Structure 1
Amino acid sequence: MDLNDIIDYLGTVARSVGAEMSSPFFYLQFGLILIAAGIALTANAALQKRIDRGSLANRWPLPLRRLAYVLVVESFSTVVFAVLVIAARIVMYHSTWPSRSYMLVVAAKLALAWLAIRLITSVIRNAFLVTMISLLAWLIAALSIINQLEPAADALDSISIVLGGLRLTPLLVIKACLLLIVTLWLTNIASNFAESRINRSADLTPSIQVLLVKMIRIGLMVVAVAIALGAVGINLSALAVFSGAVGVGIGIGLQKIVANFISGIILLADKSVKPGDLVTIGDSSGRISAMKTRYISVAAGDGREFLIPNEDLVTQKVTNWTYTDKNTLVKVTFATNYDSNPRRVCQLAIENAAAAPRAIKARPPNCILTEFAETGMKFSLTFWIADPDGMDNVRSEVMLSLWETFKREGIKVPYPVRELRVRGGALPVDTTVEVSS
C-alpha cells in the first residue's frame, strides 16, 4: 500500500462516514449511546459512595474477590453501559431494520472488549503496565470490530526504514514492544518464583543466593528479548551493525557501570561481603542490607543508608567485622594517678568488664598497664563480645561502670597540672602555685 492508496482509502472512509451522518438513525443511536453513558456514570458514582471496599467479598476466595473488585469497583460503569446498549440494540432490532442499529452493536462490542481486557489484566500489579496494555489491546479490538484491523496493519507496514539488513516498520516495532512486554512480564513472574525458592534454601549462603537470583534474572531477560525479537521475524544477526556502536558506548560512557556490574559479580562469587555483614568502608560504617547490580546498601543504624558502588569494595580497603567470626574484641583505654595500686586497678577493671551483659564469659577480659606517663599510669582493658553491632554502646557502659567503681574505691583519674613560679611582687620569691586546667 503506497501513499496514493492510503489517500484513496481515507477518502472512501470519509465519504462513507458522511453518508451515514446524513441518516436520522445515526443521531438516534448516538443519542442512545450518550444517554447510556450518562446513566452508567451516575450509577457508578452512586455505588462508589455506598460500597465498602474493605469488606467487598471478604469471605470469597482470592480470585473471585479480585473478579468482584474489578467488576464492581473498577469497571461497574462499563458493565452498566454495556447492558443498556445491548438492551437498546434489542429494542431497535425488533422495531426497525437491523442495519439501523449497527452503532449500538459496535458500542456494545467495544464495551465488552474493554471489560474482558480489564478482567485479564487484573492479575498484573503494575498500574502503568495495566493501563498501557489495556489501551493497546482495546485499540486492536476496536479496529477488529469495525473491520479495519487489516487495512491499518497494511498502512503501518507500508512505512519502513532499512538499517543494514533490517527493515523497520511501525508495525514491526509495535509487535516487538507487545511481545517484549508479555515475555518480560512472564520472565518477572518466573524469576520471582525462583527467587522465593532460592531464598528458602538453608543450604545456600546469602551471597550465593543473591548471585543465583541475579544470574537467573539476567539469563531470563536475555532469553525473553531473543524470543520476542525472533517471534516478530527480526534476525538477531542483523543487529550486528549495532554491536560496534554499543562497544564504543561501553568504552566511553559506560565504563563505571560495567565495572560496578563485574565487581558485583566478583563480590557475590568470592563471598568477601554478604547481606547482614557489619562493614567499615572509608568513613561509612553499618550493616549491609542489600546487594544490587551496581551498588551495595549499608544501613548506618541511624536512619541513613550509604549506597556504595561495588567497584569501591573491590579496589579499596574494607573492614568486615563479621567475615569469618562475629566475636569482636572491644578495647577501653583509661588512666589513674600514681597514688593508685595498679594491680588493684587492673582487678577492678577486669571485674567490671566481666560483669557487662554482652561480654563473652568463655573468654575472660584482660587489663594491662601500658605506660607511666607524665599525668599518671595508663591502662588498656580488652574484652570480647559476641556481635560487633552496638560496640560503642558496650564500651560506654563499661567506662561508666569503671567511673562509678573508681569513685567508690577512691581511685582518682589524673588531670593536667601546671606549675607557675612568680618572682618578685607580693608573693615570696620562688613561690610555686599549682593550677589545674
Structure 2
Amino acid sequence: MSTTGLSVFEQLIADFQNASTWLELALLALCLALAFGITRMLRKHFASDTSVWLGPTALRGALFPLLTLVLVWIAQAVLAHYQQVFWLRMAGSLLLSLAVIRFVVRVLSKTFPNSTAARLFEQVFSWLAWGVAVLASLGLLQDVMQELDSLHLALGKTSVSLLTLIEGLLSAGLMMVAVLWASSLFEQRVLNQVVSDLSMRKVAMNITRTVLITVGLLVSLSIVGVDLTALSVMGGAVGVGLGFGMQKIASNYVSGFLVLIERALRIGDNVRVDGFEGRITDIKTRFTVIRASNGRESIVPNETLITQRVENLTRFDQRFSLTTDIVVELNSDVEQVRALLLAAAAAQPRVLKAPAPSVLLVEILAYGLQFSLTYYIADPVNGQGNVRSDVNIAVLAGLRAAQVALAVPQQRLSWPSETPIEGVVPVVKNGADFIGHA
C-alpha cells in the first residue's frame, strides 16, 4: 500500500507541475460564472423556494453545482487533448460530491422539515461524500475499495464483504431519497392541480409514497444482490407481527385511511375530541394533529377518531358558535340585560349578522339570573379567544354603564363557626348551612 500510495502522490506532483494552473483556474471560474448565470435565469422564470434544484437562492440549490460539474467535465475533456489536467479534475470530484449532497439535503429538508434524525443523516452523509471526493481526487479511492472488499463479515452462513455492505446501504439510501423526491414532485405537479380536496390529496399522497418506497426498496435490494424470494419468509413474519404485537399500529394506519376516504373529518375542520377543542392541521398515517386556538397541539391516534365520539364543530356553511355566560342579581331587568348582551355581540366586526346573536335565560338561581349569549363567527382559523375576549369586555362595560351588578354566589359557612362574622348569623335550611344576614 505504501508503494502504491507513493506512486499516486508522485503522479499528483507530476500532474501539478505539468498543468497550466492559471488556465485551469480561469476555465473553472468561467464554468462557475456560466452555471450561476443559467441558474439565476431559470430562477426568474421558475422561482420556487421549495424547489430541490433551484433552492431559495441560486447558490443553494442542487442545480448550480450540477451545471458547474457538467461544464467542468466538458472543459476537462477538451483541455486533456493538449496538456495534463490537475485542477479541473480535482474540482470535478468536489463538485460531484457537492451536487449529491445538495440534492439529498434539499429532499430530506422538504420531506422531514423538523426531524432530528434527518439532520443527523445529512451530516453523516455529507462527511462521507466529501471523504469519497477527496479520495477520488487523490487517486486513492480504488485502493480503499480494494481494501474494503478484502474484509468480510459473516452473516449466518453467508459471508459479505464490507464493500458490498456499504454499497448496499448507500444504494438503498440514495434510492429512498430519489423516491421521496419523485413522490414530492408528483404531489406538486399532479395532485395539487388535479385533486382539490385536502383529504383525498392526502390519501393519494400516502398511497403513492408507500408504493414508490416499496418498489424502490425492492430495486435497491436486487441491485445489491439480495435474493427477493427470501423476502417471502420476512413477509410472513411481518404479517404475524401485525396480527399480534403491531395490531395497534396497523389499526391506526387503516383508520387514518378510513378517515381520509370517508371525509367525515377533513383537514381544516374544528373538532372536539375527549374534551380538547381545536382545528385539524394534519392527518398522518398513525395519528391526527389537532391545534387549539392558543397554539397547543394534541396528538390523537387515528383509531380514536373511528371508535370514539368526535364532535365536528365546523358546519358546511363554515359557521362556528361561541358562548358567553353571566349571572346577574335577581332584581335585574331581564329585557335590559338581553339588550346589553346583544349589543355587545353585534358591536364586534367578526360576529356574524346572520345567524344573529341570541340570548337565553337558562336558569333562575337562588342568588341571581343566569344568561347565555350565543354568537357565530365565520373564521375560527383566525382565533376564537380574541373574539370571546372582545365580547366579554363589551358585556362588562355595558353592565357597568347600566349599573347592572353581577350576582355573588352564596358561600357555605362552617357550623358552628369558630370566628363569627359581624352582621352574619348562621341559617339552617333543609339540613344545609348557609350565610344569612341578621
Q: Same fold (TM over 0.5)?
A: yes
Take 2:300 and 2:287, find their aligned partners in 1: how far apart are those partners? 5
- SS of 1:290's equivalent in the other structure is strand
- SS of 2:193's equivalent in the other structure is coil
Take 1:273 and 1:313, find their aligned partners in 2: how far apart are those partners? 9
TM-score calculated relative to the size of structure 1: 0.65
Partner of 1:428: none
Assess, with a 3 A threshold, how the Cα gap between structure 1 residues 29 and 338 changes in structure 2: closer, same or farther: closer
- Give ranges in structure 2 of 5+ residues lacking alignment: 30-35, 44-52, 107-121, 412-421, 427-434
Partner of 1:371: 363
The Cα offsets for residues 390-423 of structure 1, whole Å up to 9 and x where unpaired, read as 3343333333323322333333333346895769
Q: Determine if contact 1:70/1:118 at 8 Å carries over to the other structure.
A: no
Q: Which amino acid in 2 is paired with 1:410?
A: Q
Q: Determine if contact 2:168/2:224 at 8 Å carries over to the other structure.
A: yes
TM-superposed CA distance for 1:221, in Å, is 0.9
The Cα offsets for residues 30-84 of structure 1, whole Å up to 9 and x where unpaired, read as 69979x9xx99xx9xxx9xxxxxxx99996656896599759xx99xxx9xxx9x
- SS of 2:359's equivalent in the other structure is strand
Determine which of 390, 393, 411 is the counterpart of 1:400: 393
Take 2:424 and 2:284, find their aligned partners in 1: how far apart are those partners? 67
Take 2:271 and 2:187, find their aligned partners in 1: how far apart are those partners? 25
Q: Determine if contact 2:175/2:216 at 8 Å carries over to the other structure.
A: yes
TM-superposed CA distance for 1:199, in Å, is 5.3
Take 1:217 and 1:288, find their aligned partners in 2: how far apart are those partners? 22
Determine which of 407, 410, 429 is the counterpart of 1:414: 407
Determine which of 81, 87, 103 is the counterpart of 1:124: 103
Partner of 1:347: 339
- Give ranges in structure 1 of 5+ residues lacking alignment: 1-12, 48-54, 91-103, 424-431
Higher Rg: 1
The Cα offsets for residues 78-136 of structure 1, whole Å up to 9 and x where unpaired, read as x9xxx9xx99x97xxxxxxxxxxxxx99x879736624623653651518345545655
The Cα offsets for residues 182-222 of structure 1, whole Å up to 9 and x where unpaired, read as 43233222211111135533752111111111111111111
TM-superposed CA distance for 1:237, in Å, is 1.3
Q: Determine if contact 1:327/1:385 at 8 Å carries over to the other structure.
A: yes
Partner of 2:204: 212
Partner of 2:430: none
Partner of 1:271: 263
Partner of 1:326: 318
TM-superposed CA distance for 1:159, in Å, is 4.9
Take 2:425 and 2:155, find their aligned partners in 1: how far apart are those partners? 99
Assess, with a 3 A threshold, how the Cα gap between structure 1 residues 409 and 202 changes in structure 2: closer, same or farther: farther
Determine which of 353, 361, 384 is the counterpart of 2:376: 384
Take 1:147 and 1:403, find their aligned partners in 2: how far apart are those partners? 78
The within-5 A match list for 1:274-285 is 274-285=266-277
Partner of 2:110: none
Take 2:294 and 2:133, find their aligned partners in 1: how far apart are those partners? 48
Q: Determine if contact 1:211/1:265 at 8 Å carries over to the other structure.
A: yes
TM-superposed CA distance for 1:154, in Å, is 11
Q: Which amino acid in 2 is paired with 1:272?
A: A
Identity of aligned residues (%): 28
Assess, with a 3 A threshold, how the Cα gap between structure 1 residues 157 and 299 changes in structure 2: closer, same or farther: same
TM-superposed CA distance for 1:356, in Å, is 3.0
The within-5 A match list for 1:298-313 is 298-313=290-305
Residue 149 (structure 2) pairs with residue 156 (structure 1): yes
The Cα offsets for residues 151-191 of structure 1, whole Å up to 9 and x where unpaired, read as 96798389586769x88554554443343244323322221
Alignment RMSD: 5.0
TM-score calculated relative to the size of structure 2: 0.64
TM-superposed CA distance for 1:284, in Å, is 3.4
Take 1:211 and 1:369, find their aligned partners in 2: how far apart are those partners? 47
Q: Determine if contact 1:295/1:308 at 8 Å carries over to the other structure.
A: yes
